[in-house]
Amino acid sequence: MKQKLLLSALLCSSIYMLNGQNGTRPDNAKVILKSGVIRTINVLANDNAVVGKTYEVVNVYKTTPKDITIAHSSPNVTYRDNHQGVQNDTFFYIARDIITSDLDTNYVVIVKDELSADLYPGDANKDNICNHMDILNIGIAYGKNEIMREGKFLTTNWEAVSAYDWTQTNNKSNFKFSDANGDGLVDSAGDVGTILKNYNRSIGLTNVHYSPTGGQSFSILLPDTIKLESSINPFQFAIHLGSATNKVSNSYGLAFTLKFNQAYINPDKIAFKASKWYTDQESTLNFTKVNNGNGEIDIVIVRKSGRNSDGAGELGIVDIVEIDVLGGLVDPINTSFEILKPVLIDSIYNVLPVTLAAPKTLHVVKKSSSKINTAQRNSGLKYYQNDQTLTLKNENSKPQEVSILNILGKEISKRVLAPNQTIETDTNLWSSGIYFLKTSGEAYKIHVK
């Protein structure tokens, strides 16, 4: 009976409480409608801020509506909305001054926000499809930490959910979409994992924007012919964009797709390893996903610093572990590689131009019938390879020093070539793998079988 009288007194004195109490509506006293979230509110945060006051919660009372659930464990009150109504919820609490035992009362208003269910976990750039291009938005928002999704909307399943907007956005989407797993932090663990979980899922009409042509050019650095002893011999080639003299300026990230022929290359036997394309050596978020059904590798290299940079040269190395043609190597094999669907962006997702390379056709023959590869020429140094010999020719009018380094950077040979001089180096005893030709200003990669 005393509690009922006290509650009546509290209700009658609500005007006083609106104007005269220490407690005010906490910032987190709001929920998303239909989220079913359980909200824990520190109701004494403001009361205990008063000089000389130390309170504890002794009781809570529901007012409107009657079907909310509340419980208390000082200094917190736990609240849950059990209905779908849009009207605000209000509850009162009684606090006791631990020092004086004086009682005080206050109220909390829970505002229920009716938000659109416009977020699909993993669609970080809001183009209605979950794929590697969403990694670009993870890089743009990387490390940002704001509002965690709540209740039943804290899910990684491919379904429409509601979430509060973050304070930051770019030209593609609000940063809440970059928080793919909804934990309130944009990172490379849960968010990239959510993208992989929902990869290639889409809704309605997609809204993908690729780079226009006109910028620096891609190139596939692959000889016209390679020689293999068997179908399981590995080989590698590089993909470049721009060069030291023609850099891609003020870029932040790049996504593209490498197309290969599944008739000859098993999707489980091909991989891409990103290089340090950005010159400041700042860490990047690198992503690769092989689409087994269509013979494509989706590739992303994106910065995480929030700042644009210049990029040039080698994007990375493609590893082909096995050429597989009906259980054996047929002589010859012609297969091709092609770069598709590029998206080059700056740090606010402005799409920048690039130029695609023509598809690169590779002629594969057995090593017993090997021929000299097509000559490569860079900065006046012309070089040829066959099974046992590396041929170097200095086409400059001045002497040129050439060093040969192994994959660990150890120098194994150094020669000075006079103008127009040609020399041959026996590679028969070299271990198979990657080597580098280094001149005074450039370095070139070669592969010895």
d(CA 447, CA 436): 9
Say whether pLDDT at 371 is over 60: no
More confident of the two residues 279 and 395 = 395
Say whether pLDDT at 120 is over 90: yes
Per-residue pLDDT at 201: 96
Considering only the C-alpha atoms of the chain, give the largest distance between any 2 of them, rounded to a whole number of Å: 109
Q: Which residue in 445, 439, 448 sits closest to 389, CA to CA?
A: 448
267: which DSSP letter? G
Structure tokens at 222: 């692959």
Q: How distant is the alpha carbon of residue 5 from its chain centre?
A: 59
Residue 271 · residue 331 · CB < 8 Å: no
Mean pLDDT of 374-383: 63
Q: At CA 299, angle to CA 363 and CA 379, rounded to 5?
A: 55
pTM of the predicted structure, to 2 decimals: 0.73
Among positive and negative, which fits the CA dihedral 257, 263, 265, 268? positive
Say whether pLDDT at 373 is over 80: no
Per-residue pLDDT at 370: 39
d(CA 296, CA 23): 60
Domains of the chain, start order? 2-113 (2.60.40.10), 116-208 (no CATH), 218-369 (2.60.40.680), 376-448 (2.60.40.3080)
Q: Residue 113: how many CB atoms within 10 A of its CB?
A: 12
In the block, tokens 């009361």 appear at: 47
Per-residue pLDDT at 372: 38
Show the beta-strand stretches assigned E in 82-177.
Answer: 89-97, 103-113
Per-residue pLDDT at 307: 94
Per-residue pLDDT at 118: 95
Mean pLDDT of 324-328: 54
Query: For the chain, what is the mean pLDDT?
Result: 84
Mean pLDDT of 35-63: 85
More confident of the two residues 237 and 48 = 237
Residue 397 · residue 418 · CB < 8 Å: no
% of the chain residues with pLDDT over 90: 45
% of the chain residues with pLDDT over 70: 85
Confidence of residue 300 (pLDDT cuts 50, 70, 90): very high
Among positive and negative, which fits the CA dihedral 195, 199, 204, 210? positive
d(CA 444, CA 404): 10
Q: At CA 292, angle to CA 289 and CA 297, rounded to 5?
A: 35
d(CA 128, CA 208): 8
Q: How distant is the alpha carbon of residue 417 from its chain centre?
A: 46
Select the highest-mean-pLDDT range: 21-35, 236-250, 369-383, 391-405. 236-250
Select the highest-mean-pLDDT range: 89-98, 169-178, 218-227. 169-178
Q: Within a 13 Å sphere around the CA of 410, how many CA atoms are in the beta-carbon half?
A: 2
Per-residue pLDDT at 325: 57
pLDDT of 183-203, one tens digit each? 999 998 899 999 999 999 999
Structure tokens at 440: 């005074």
Confidence of residue 329 (pLDDT cuts 50, 70, 90): low
Q: At CA 260, angle to CA 288 and CA 269, rounded to 5?
A: 60
18: which DSSP letter? H
Q: Which residue in 312, 311, 338, 320 sits closest to 257, CA to CA?
A: 338
Give the list of residues 6+ apart from residue 102 with CB closer than 8 angstroms, or none. 96
Mean pLDDT of 53-64: 85
Give the list of residues 6+ apart from residue 445 with CB closer than 8 angstroms, or none. 221, 238, 314, 434, 435, 436
Say whether pLDDT at 16 is over 80: no
Q: Which residue in 163, 144, 140, 143 sits closest to 153, CA to CA?
A: 163
d(CA 295, CA 273): 17
Give one DSSP letter per residue of 309-352, joined into a string.
EEE-EEEEEEEE--B-STTS--SSEEEEEEEEEEEEE-TT-PEE
Confidence of residue 293 (pLDDT cuts 50, 70, 90): confident
Say whether pLDDT at 231 is over 80: no
Say whether pLDDT at 369 is over 50: no
